[in-house]
Chain A
Amino acid sequence: MALLEVDDLTVQFYTEDGVVTAADELSFTVESGEKFGVVGESGAGKSVTALSLMRLIEEPGRITDGEIRFKGEDILSMSESEVRSIRGNEMAMIFQDAQTALNPVYTVGEQISEAVRHHLDYSEADARDRAVQLMDDVGIPEPDARYDDYPHQFSGGMQQRVVIATALSCDPDLLIADEPTTALDVTIEAKILDLIENLADEYDTAVQLITHDLGVIAEVCDRVMVMYAGKPVEKAPVDDLYYDPKHPYTVGLMSSIPRVGEQRDRLQTIPGTMPDLVELPSGCSFHPRCPFAEDACTRKEPPLVDHETGQAADGDTDQHVAACLEYTGDLVEGLDYQVDVDGADPNTGSATERGRDHGA
């Protein structure tokens, strides 16, 4: 049994403009101790997915369908107090914007120890010791003195460390990190990612890392799911996804990132923008932007299938699945693209080319 199993999760927001389906029959699993990445552009449904795992979707949003099983128990059918006992305890979250995640009128130490006192029944003094220890673990200098500081006295990177310490305070089994480094500078980002990786290994915590940055996923994760317009379009172990992507959207995403040390004059782009979630295009949602779209793509919605066998995804974690009609044999022309994962070393400027051709 996987640590977290999500089946056919559907989340809808009832807005004035119509019903927005932010997550559409989404299924995935996270094994214990695993680092699972979710990548996509804004509006792909990444954060909504994360929030629904903690049952934090607020009005006008609603989880309309599906099942979320954490350690075999269905989160959606739990009572509010049962969910509260899991939230921040066995399952914790790191938010993108540390400044808004922290309460400005409580000291940082207070915010870290609150979870410990609440969930683990620590005494006041023990909770303080635990919080100081955690602050030291996440690399906050002089934790004992800074325990009584307020969030505004911390820099952005230090605030994010406080959020991480809070999330780790009850030794969770699953840590959900929603764009944990997006607001930070690269030098701080490198440190925070390093920290999340090391702590996850040390505490044997599974991590679900949500980001728009393929570089961050490559560095941290074991497995990755690419989302587009509320649906997963590809799911694979990281190596397979980066070196042999199977969905045209993944390919487009990767070739639109500028890389240091490459000699391309022009970036490849994905034409157009993410569709309006109220009125999704018929068939494959990606077809208006896809360079390989055919008539069939406008009519038939592609299922998530194994790219080799064309069989529906069966939940095997090593499986490489993609939602493109190419793999169900519905395309006439097929796909034709080339991927270069150029392992150029910026320090030496040398490049080792690794490429793969995809003939039609």
Chain B
Amino acid sequence: MPEAEPILRAENLTKYFDDSEGFVDSLLGRSQWVKAVDGVDFTLYEGETLGVVGESGCGKTTLGRALLQLLEPTEGSVYYNRADGAGGRERLDLTEASSSRLRSLRTDLQYIFQDPFSSLNPRLTVGDIIGEPLDIHSLATGAERTDRIYELLELVGLNPSHAQRYPHEFSGGQRQRIGIARALAVDPEVIVCDEPVSALDVSVQAQILNLLEDLQADLGLSYIFIAHDLSVVEHISDRIGVMYLGELAEVGTTDEVFSPPYHPYTEALLSAIPEPDPRWQGDRILLSGNVPSPLDPPSGCRFHTRCPRVIQPAGFDLDQPVWRSLMDFKQRLLGEETIGAVTAVEEDVDVEDASRAELEDLVRAEFDLPDRFGGEAERVFADAVDALHAGDIQAAETTVSESFVSPCEASNPDLYAETETHNLACLLYDDEHPDPTGSVGGRNDAAADD
């Protein structure tokens, strides 16, 4: 249960990677920054599990590593409330700590890695792998060390007689148990679990999840549980943070985030899970496009390029899917240089010589636009097609980028407090940006939309 004082708190945590290629680039100052984690704030309370979900490339792993200073954050602070041994707690800024101080703090902060095959040294016996942290921190020697190793092996459900064996003699699930035993050896307070079960078969995955939960109950551990699998995260977490392109899109208790989902991205992620039920009737939300590059994240809300509920500008009253398609049309036009980018492929029709009507049909087919959607948007669309037909892509770009502008592109929503524990970054739920048209679902009809 959350207590007043968090055990770990990140403030504006940021990690950029330099993507410039080689010496010449750096000499000329041509550096490009991959914004892997961009200004993330969150708290972890004692004894709870905070799940972090998101698609690959959203910065989950970087976040976990930056928290424990395995990667040096570009900006921001991580505060750790350390038990001072006298019942009180002292607050430390991990980003300011010296490396020797950090090393001693690793007895409190541990990490479980994703890949149980590459995270164990193949030349060490299991006993030495688990004993290594004991040696480094001078926690136990001799018979005490051996006893502790046996105890840890038993704790994670392995046989103490396995201490003499090497990692290759174990299955994936057993190796993950060894990794957990190693993390537990120093009796930590916080463990960052980075995809601890994604390499495992389902039956073994369930064993490890249960083990992690048992250990938490017995040892009072706090977990940051990073995973891409929403059902796993939902199962194990007390609170969940949803990440998108280096930012937290939403954070709250598991119920607040998932039932019902508020943020359009969370909603889409949830709907995409394949349900092991052949009679499942739920509608899948298929997101348009791909995850944009973190080198150059979209302006405003980073999810607006794919968001099914992207807000319409004032004066527009289109069906939401039509508006989404028009936004796709705009993004495609701006991103590509040829007319082929925005037209469907039809045998026997060459887009270069197509008539105005044919061209319009091809564009509509490519973006699943209905024959008529009416209003201002229809007029702008017609102008854009005219320009395309005249071969002037530049003019078409100007036309659409002047008219098809969502408020979501203009302002980046802050994490807005929906309830005391539930924060989400979406203009739909932000009181200060009331939905200008009132036509798109807001907070009250979020559930009714589904």
Contact = CB atoms under 8 A, between A and B. Distances in A.
Interface of A: 41-42, 129, 132-133, 135-136, 141-145, 155-158, 185-191, 193-194, 212-219, 238-239, 242, 252-254, 256-262, 264-271, 273-274, 341-343, 345-349
Interface stretch (B112-120, B272-280, B406-414): B272-280
B345 A239 contact: no
Given A133-B347, A194-B286, A346-B282, A257 B276 contact: yes
Contacts of A215: 273-276
Given A212-B201, A346-B270, A260 B345 contact: no
Nearest to A135: B345
Contacts of B261: 346-347
B206 A268 contact: yes
A157 B203 contact: no
Contacts of A273: 171, 173-174, 204
Interface string B210-242: 100100000000000000111110111000000
B203 A252 contact: yes
Contacts of A218: 274-278, 280
Nearest to B201: A41
A182 B447 CA distance: 31
Contacts of A252: 203
A266 B236 CA distance: 9
Contact of B270 (A155, A268, A347): A347
B399 interface: no
A3 B50 CA distance: 50
A356 B190 CA distance: 41
B341 interface: yes
A185 B54 CA distance: 9
A346 B233 CA distance: 14
A346 B187 CA distance: 37
Contacts of A264: 235
A313 B229 CA distance: 37
B258 A260 contact: yes
Interface of B: 55-56, 171, 173-174, 201-207, 209-210, 213, 228-232, 234-236, 255, 258-261, 267-280, 282, 284, 286-287, 290-291, 332, 336, 338, 340-341, 344-345, 347, 447, 450
Contacts of B276: 214-215, 217-218, 242, 254, 257, 259, 341
Given A141-B332, A144-B345, A347-B450, A267 B273 contact: no
Given A186-B228, A214-B202, A348-B260, 12 more contacts: A143-B340, A187-B286, A190-B271, A190-B286, A194-B284, A218-B276, A219-B280, A259-B231, A261-B258, A267-B209, A273-B171, A346-B258
A216 B205 CA distance: 18
A276 to B, nearest CB: 10
Nearest to A268: B206
A158 B277 contact: no
Contact of B340 (A41, A144, A158, A266): A144
6 contacts: A191-B286, A194-B286, A218-B275, A239-B278, A253-B202, A254-B276
A136 B345 contact: yes
B55 A187 contact: yes
A109 B129 CA distance: 49
Contacts of A346: 258-259, 261, 270-271, 273, 282
A142 B341 contact: yes
A273 B231 CA distance: 22
A145 B234 CA distance: 42
A304 to B, nearest CB: 21
A341 B55 contact: no
A141 B341 contact: yes
B230 A186 contact: yes
Indicate the member of A186, A188, A271 with the most B CB atoms within 10 Å. A186
Nearest to A213: B274
A254 B81 CA distance: 41
Contact of B275 (A219, A270, A274): A219
Given A145-B336, A190-B284, A242 B278 contact: yes
B341 A257 contact: no
B68 to A, nearest CB: 25
A341 B275 CA distance: 10
A18 to B, nearest CB: 16
A256 B205 contact: yes
B280 A343 contact: yes
Contacts of A239: 278-279
B286 A267 contact: no
B4 to A, nearest CB: 26
A143 B279 CA distance: 36
Contacts of A187: 55, 268-269, 272, 286-287
Q: What 3 A-B pairs are tightest by C-beta distance, nearest first?
A: A215-B274, A349-B259, A258-B235
Given A133-B345, A141-B341, A158 B447 contact: no
A242 B347 CA distance: 43
Given A158-B290, A194-B286, A258-B231, A41 B277 contact: no
B345 A190 contact: no
B290 A155 contact: yes
A242 B277 contact: yes
Indicate the member of A212, A214, A218, A346 with the most B CB atoms within 10 Å. A346
A200 to B, nearest CB: 16
Nearest to A216: B274
A156 B290 CA distance: 10
Contacts of B235: 258-259, 262, 264, 267
Contact of A219 (B209, B274, B447): B274
A253 B206 CA distance: 10
A260 B230 contact: yes
A213 B282 CA distance: 18
Nearest to A130: B347
B210 to A, nearest CB: 6
A142 B393 CA distance: 15
A215 B277 CA distance: 7
Given A187-B287, A194-B286, A253-B203, A143 B280 contact: no
Contact of A42 (B201, B231, B290): B201
Contact of B282 (A262, A271, A347): A347
A319 B344 CA distance: 44
Indicate the member of B55, B206, B269 with the most A CB atoms within 10 Å. B206
A230 to B, nearest CB: 15
B282 A345 contact: yes
Contacts of A136: 344-345
Given A194-B284, A258-B232, A348-B450, A343 B277 contact: yes
Contacts of A41: 201-204
Contacts of A219: 274-275, 278, 280
B272 A190 contact: yes
Contacts of A141: 332, 336, 341
A184 to B, nearest CB: 9
